[in-house]
Amino acid sequence: MSVVGESYLVGLLGEGVLPSLTPPLHEREADELGLRYLYRPIDLLALDGAGAPGAPGGTGDLDATIARVLDAAALLGFDALNITHPCKQRVLAHLDEVTPSASAIGSVNTVLLADGRRVGHNTDVTGFASALRDGLPGADLGAVVVIGAGGAGAAVAAALLDAGAGRLTIIDLDASRAGALAGDLTARFPGATIDSAAADALAARLAGPASAVTGVVNASFAGMHTHPGIPLDPGLLHAGLWVADIVYRPLDTELLRAARAAGCSTLDGGGMAVGQAADAFRLITGVEPDRDRMRPHFAAMIREGR
């Protein structure tokens, strides 16, 4: 018979998370491993007084909502919370401890709740790193552009620099946010060349001399079902580039289709989604999941339109 210590209660905190594939991905793998594992979404849009724009009855106080959810999760016996937009950066102020890698990029996507403490981790970094390694082995990291300076963009940028990127450019609609991230990364990676620019400078970067850029990663919302479109002019793509997209709904984004048509090597968002989930699962349970089993399950859920 199972006891409390052998079961896991996990939540996903963020905006619009009810359709997320992360809970069923975790639960299915736990079933395969014989673990009792309950994973529930905690959607800011459904919380009275939540800070997400447009939340029913929302007060706009996101920090207060994060604090309230963390307190409630601890009181109710949750083992962990996964954290997604728009809380990955704001949650840091509410934690007792943050791992060095998460602190360095100012972004947390997993909070472990144990012994009265809240410890923040980031598995987006390792998730993208493993996806890049497996999906684009030997990719030229000489000069890479990352589109998006939010929590996901920070994780992608750190993973690229960990992998040896020589030059990294952060592009964001908010130039000040891109600049702040570039500054933080420069302090952590003094041997790399890191700069930033506003979104309107992207075309100039990609159309530079002999297009010195070797790779592009979309770490923004552009291309999601809820934010359709493409983050750059497809005419800027050419066969000398590799292109990655962290969007996974849909897996085959407009950006990736345009990149393939231009002769680019491509990487979809499924690898990062599974990689970060697997790493979070291991942190929460102490059990190594079977990533080869999780990948086809994830792909099947995408095909089924879940």
User: For the domain that residue 24 is a member of, what is the CATH number?
Assistant: 3.40.50.10860
Q: List for the chain the helix, strand, coil content (%; round to 5).
A: 40, 20, 40
For the chain, 306 residues long, give each residue's pLDDT as a single digit of tens: 344 457 999 999 999 999 999 999 999 999 999 999 999 999 999 886 554 444 444 446 999 999 999 999 999 999 999 999 999 999 999 999 999 999 989 999 999 999 999 999 999 999 999 999 999 999 999 999 999 999 999 999 999 999 999 999 999 999 999 999 999 999 999 999 999 999 989 898 888 664 589 999 999 999 998 889 999 999 999 999 999 999 999 999 999 999 999 999 999 999 999 999 999 999 999 999 999 999 999 999 998 876
Can you give the pLDDT at residue 5? Answer: 53
- Rounded to whole angstroms, how far apart are CA atoms 154 and 184? 10
> What's the pLDDT at 6?
79
CA 111 to chain centre: 14
Question: Looking at residue 52, what DSSP letter applies?
Answer: S
- Cα–Cα distances in Å, from 280 out to 26, 80, 107? 9, 9, 14
- Contact of 181 with 205, CB cutoff 8 Å: no
Whether 118 and 252 share a structural domain:
no
Q: Are 145 and 260 members of one domain? A: yes
88, 118, 121, 295: the active-site residue: 88
Give SS3 for 166.
coil
- Structural domain containing residue 148: 125-268
Nearest alpha carbon to residue 267 among 256, 278, 279: 256
The gap between the terminal CA atoms of the chain, to the nearest Å, is: 33
Find out whether 145 and 281 touch, Cβ atoms under 8 Å: no
| Domain count within the chain | 2
Give residue 210's pLDDT: 45
Are 226 and 294 members of one domain?
no
Residue 182 is given by DSSP the state: H
Q: Are 99 and 119 in contact (CB under 8 A)?
A: yes
In this structure, is the dihedral angle defined by the CA atoms of residues 188, 189, 194 and 198, taken in order, positive or negative?
negative
- Cβ–Cβ contacts within 10 Å for residue 53, how many? 12
On whether both 79 and 33 belong to a single domain, the answer is yes
CA proximity to 132, closest of 99, 102, 156: 156
The answer to whether 281 is a known catalytic residue is: no
Do 165 and 65 belong together in one domain?
A: no
State whether 10 and 111 are in the same domain.
yes
Residues 6 or more apart from 267 whose CB is under 8 A from it? 131, 132, 135, 136, 242, 243, 244, 245
| Same domain assignment for residues 177 and 91 | no
Q: For residue 251, what is the enclosing H or E element?
A: none
Looking up tokens 């849909």, which residue turns up? Answer: 250
Tokens in use for 8? 């896991």
pTM above 0.85, yes or no: yes
Q: Are residues 129 and 264 in the same domain?
A: yes
Strand partners for 82: 12, 110
Instruction: Establish how many alpha carbons lie within 13 A of residue 159's alpha carbon, considering only the half-sphere containing its beta carbon.
Output: 26
At 221, which CATH number?
3.40.50.720
Q: Under a CB-based contact definition with an 8 Å cutoff, are residues 272 and 124 in contact? A: yes
- Same domain, yes or no: 47 and 174: no
